[in-house]
Amino acid sequence: MGNDAGLIEKINRLRKEKNAVILAHFYQIPEIQDIADFVGDSLDLSRKSAATDADVIVFAGVHFMAETAKILSPKKKVLIPDPNAGCSLADSCPADAFREFRAKYPDHVVVSYVNTSAEIKAMTDITCTSSNALQVIQSIPEDQKIIFAPDKNLGNFLNSITGRDMVLWDGACHVHEKFSLEKILTLKKEYPHAKLIAHPECEKPVLLAADYIGSTSALLRFVESDQGNEYIVATESGILHQMRKRNPRKTFIPAPPIDSTCGCSECIFMKMHTLQKIYDSLNEEKFEILLDPEIIERARKPIERMLEISS
């Protein structure tokens, strides 16, 4: 803790000197969430990136999130503490393959999840996050055909609740695909009063068993307003830190994946960042996100459309 205190002091001094802001996703380690200027989900962080008056953005999240910040604030210096913090979902949708896929459906509008590379966003009509995906789909005329990429689980969930027949790219998140329904049902017997709450990136059997389905922010709001006291949480376990901070008298149990030593589901990429790496990145201004200006211009339009729709 002493080392952390010294590091935090140095980080605080640097961010003041450099007019820097630290943005962190809910899936970061607790120490990073606690020092961040703002903690949120992808939609919240997109809005914050667009609105900040900082000169430097240190993004404690995965690579596509830092890219999104750069797209929305191209004149700002955007740093990612560990450049290897990628995303299995974004990686499941390579730009060249998606370009060919898109060409097969020329009369379709492309809605892509914000969990994609800048190149995919540049081929997109409207982006969305799990917080506003339903709103985005409902903003599109019912007779307009849609390609939805890259998360097939979220796409199937949206098709089921809207009655649409969107063409889905076959991608998925390595965290949300690995929850074990069998282990969850065993856990439910152990905690008979616990409600299962799940992220829509989970597979269909888990969603069918869920008492509530929502984005990370929606899950957080639900447990704050719900009358229950026990929750099995089927999303990346980093969110439990915020849930416990805001609801100290309630019990939160991470939903177990198929194989895990800790009994919880962690994103290895989200957990790559540390306080030391945040300090090093800020101190040396290293691991800057650099994008082609043309990609930035093309990718900004679908993100701005999303922000307008969900404002």
Q: Do 93 and 49 share a domain, yes or no?
A: no
Buried b (16+ CB within 10 A) or exposed e, 229-250: eebbbbbbbbbbbbbeeebeee
263 lies in some domain: no
Mean pLDDT of 97-120: 96
Mean pLDDT of 240-268: 87
Q: Do 22 and 71 share a domain, yes or no?
A: yes
CA distance 149 to 114: 9
Q: Do 59 and 113 share a domain, yes or no?
A: no
pLDDT above 70 coverage of the chain, percent: 98
277-288, pLDDT tens digit by residue? 999 999 999 999
Query: For residue 103, which amino acid is it?
Result: A
265 lies in some domain: no
258 pLDDT band, cuts 50/70/90, is confident
Mean pLDDT of 84-98: 95
Q: Is the pLDDT of residue 1 over 70?
A: no
pLDDT above 90 coverage of the chain, percent: 88
CA distance 93 to 169: 8
261 lies in some domain: no
Q: Is the pLDDT of residue 108 over 70?
A: yes
Q: Do 93 and 162 share a domain, yes or no?
A: yes
Cis peptide before 150 (omega within 30 of 0): yes
Q: 115 lies in which domain range? A: 89-173+298-309
| Domains: count for the chain | 3
Q: Do 82 and 219 share a domain, yes or no?
A: no
3 pLDDT band, cuts 50/70/90, is confident
Would you tell me how many other CB atoms lie within 10 Å of the CB of residue 292?
12
Q: Do 304 and 155 share a domain, yes or no?
A: yes
Q: Do 14 and 38 share a domain, yes or no?
A: yes
Q: Do 94 and 238 share a domain, yes or no?
A: no
Q: Is the pLDDT of residue 94 over 80?
A: yes
Between 78-82, 86-90, 163-167, the lowest mean confidence (pLDDT) is in: 86-90
260 lies in some domain: no
Q: Is the pLDDT of residue 2 over 80?
A: no
Mean pLDDT of 164-180: 94
Mean pLDDT value across the chain: 94
Q: Do 141 and 98 share a domain, yes or no?
A: yes
Q: Do 305 and 157 share a domain, yes or no?
A: yes
Q: Do 162 and 304 share a domain, yes or no?
A: yes
Q: Are 233 and 243 in contact (CB under 8 A)?
A: yes
Residue 98: predicted pLDDT: 98
Residue 261: predicted pLDDT: 53
Q: Are 80 and 32 in contact (CB under 8 A)?
A: no
Q: What is the CATH number of the domain that holds 28?
A: 3.40.50.10800
192-218, pLDDT tens digit by residue? 999 999 999 999 999 999 999 999 999
Q: Do 166 and 139 share a domain, yes or no?
A: yes
249 lies in some domain: yes
Question: Would residue 57 be called left, alpha or beta, if left means φ above 0 and alpha means ψ between -120 and 50 degrees?
Answer: beta
66 lies in some domain: yes
Q: Are 95 and 120 in contact (CB under 8 A)?
A: yes
